[in-house]
Structures are given as C-alpha cells and as structure tokens.
Amino acid sequence: MNKLKSLHSYLLSAGFKKEAILTSLLIKVADSRRNIVQRLGLTKEEADYFHNLSPQKSYNLARWFVEWRKENNNSYASLEDEINDFDKTYSIMGDEDYLYNPEQYILFDIIIKDDSFYQSVKNKSLNQIFYSDGNKASPFELYVLKQGYHGFEFSPGKNYSWYNVGQECEIVSAFLDNCGSIGGLSNEGDYDGEGDFTMMALKDADKKPVMVITVGKAYSPSFGDDVNVIVNASVKSNYFPTNQDLLEHLFDLARKEEYHFAYLYNMKTGQQIIQSPGLKSDIITGAGFEIIVAQLGVDRSYDDETSEEFEEE
C-alpha cells in the first residue's frame, strides 16, 4: 500500500496524470479490501469474493451482506450456500411456472451491472433499497417495474388504477407471487380464446400491482346472452382480497363496467372451470352482489338457425 502511494505521488510530481489516476484507483481498491476485513469483520476469503464481484463496489456490497447476516441466524455449509440464500432473499421473481422460465431480478446483479442504479442507492441501507416503506415502492421495486409491461390503463383513479395487462404478465407474477397468466382461458388454452378473457391488474401510483382479476365474456342462462364476467380475484400469493379498500375498487369496477361475478363452467363437459383462488361467495354476496352461473363452449348453431328462419319469414 505504501509503495502504491509513493508511486502515485511520484507520477503526479512527474506530470503523468493518467497514470496517477490509475494508481489512485488501485489504492482505493486495496483500501476497500482492507476495510471489508477491518471494519466489517469479514474474512479475507469473503473480502476477495466481493472484490471479485466488483472492485469499485465491493465495500458497499459487503456492507449490505453484513446487514443481512446480522438479521439472519441460519448456518451454512459454505459461503456459496450463504450467498445463494442471500440472493434468493433479495430478489423479485414470480411463480416458478410462469412461462416455464421466469425472469428473476436479483438485487446484487442489478447493482453490479447498472452503475446509475448503484449511484442512486449506495448510501442507503439494504432494507431501504429493497423494501417498500408502505407508502411508496422501494428503489429496487421501482427499477423492476420499469422493466416490465405496464399494460393499458383501463380505469384511471387517484391512488389506484385498473390496467388491462393481457393474458400473461410477468410483472403481475413477480409482485403478486402467482403464475401471471389465465391458463386455459387464454387464446392458446382449452377454450380457443373464447370469451376474450384477460387480466385486469389494480396498480398503485407507482404502477405496482396490488390485485389482479380475470375478466371476459361468457354465456349466462339467466340472461340468455353473453355477459361481462369476473371469475377470479387475487392479491399476493393467490389469496382472495379481504382488504376493504381493495374490495371497494373491485366492486366499483363491477358496477361501473357492468361485470357480473360468475362461476364459470364448460358447457360441453359440465365441469367447472377453475381459476385460483376463484371467488369468495360470502364477501361478494355480503356486498350485495350475486354470483351467477356462466358457460363457455355453448353451441350457438341452434340460435343461428332460428335467426335465419326468422329473417326468411
């Protein structure tokens, strides 16, 4: 270290500014490694690991790792196992079945690759970077939200807005821990896209999904026609919403857009078409709504023939 500092002084005095800058960077790297050991209490092996990830960012990477380690009491067979657990904890990804190859946003990977993001968070604690404060999405959440498809804003509001996010949406999957798709109701599913089903995501002011519903059209025997239906509603981890504020947004959408809550059936087989978690009848009927029976796979040829006969007469 002393030799590097002497070389740096000599290069400056001799007018070799570019070379002096390079030695200055080497000094910073050496200082960072030493500080990781002396100030943060990590071993030389651990300091080397973070140095190899990014010499310029190694001290903060190690500092954030130590912050997590102090809150984490698990034991590990190796540093590699511990790092894997750390990365799993500080990442955002959806259900593992999403498109069979879900995108995984790992905090340290983003910090290492994106210098502008690093500069914006380098003075924050690990938890300040990763976790929301309850009022606003965290810096890392905001970063991930910018990467994905926002969807079409369907029903704008002050604090929350509805977005049509399509039949598959990785951002919904990531933030609500679900599959992010409508499965068999999609265009490539079991019903050949019948009913134009899609997902509507309720998002907050930061465009962070807080609830997702499955909507479309289906035949109602009670009405004798196709009607707009809601067949599924979910918050995080495939739970039906119970938060009254979110429920009011769901019910307001149903009233405004004339959606009917419905149990959906395959007319050809008589089997119910299941979406998870489905609908919670006591909450929906308790709010004054009826849950109707709706059907897909209805044979319309009879109606067409009747219509043709009427026109001929």
pLDDT at 97: 66
Residues 33-70 have pLDDT tens digits of 888 999 999 999 999 999 999 999 999 999 999 999 99
pLDDT-wise least confident of 78-87, 191-200, 304-313: 304-313
Predicted confidence (pLDDT) at residue 274 exceeds the cutoff of 50 = yes
What's the pLDDT band for 99 if we cut at 50, 70, 90?
low
pLDDT at 138: 96
Rounded distance between C-alpha atoms, residue 29 and residue 36, angstroms: 11
Mean pLDDT of the chain: 86
List, in sequence order, the alpha helices (H) in 122-165: 126-130, 139-147
Residues 211-245 have pLDDT tens digits of 999 999 999 999 999 999 999 999 999 999 999 99
Provide the pairing of β-strand 198-204 with 160-166.
antiparallel
Rounded distance between C-alpha atoms, residue 80 and residue 41, angstroms: 18
Residue with tokens 């498109």: 99
pLDDT at 302: 47
pLDDT-wise least confident of 230-239, 248-257, 301-310: 301-310
pLDDT at 60: 96
**148, 142 contact by CB (below 8 A):** no
Mean pLDDT over 92-99 rounds to: 73
How many Cα atoms occupy the beta-carbon half-sphere of 160 within 13 Å?
18
pLDDT at 249: 96
Write out 232-255 in H/E/C secondary structure. EEECHHHCCCCCHHHHHHHHHHHH
Domain edges within the chain: 1-74, 90-147, 151-312
What's the pLDDT band for 30 if we cut at 50, 70, 90?
low
What's the pLDDT band for 191 if we cut at 50, 70, 90?
confident
Element (H, E) at 112: helix 107-113
pLDDT at 311: 37
pLDDT at 277: 96
What's the pLDDT band for 19 if we cut at 50, 70, 90?
low
Predicted confidence (pLDDT) at residue 263 exceeds the cutoff of 80 = yes
Residue with tokens 């990763």: 130
What's the pLDDT band for 8 if we cut at 50, 70, 90?
very low
pTM over 0.75: yes
Predicted confidence (pLDDT) at residue 11 exceeds the cutoff of 70 = no
Predicted confidence (pLDDT) at residue 188 exceeds the cutoff of 50 = yes
Among residues of the chain, what percentage have pLDDT more than 90?
Answer: 65
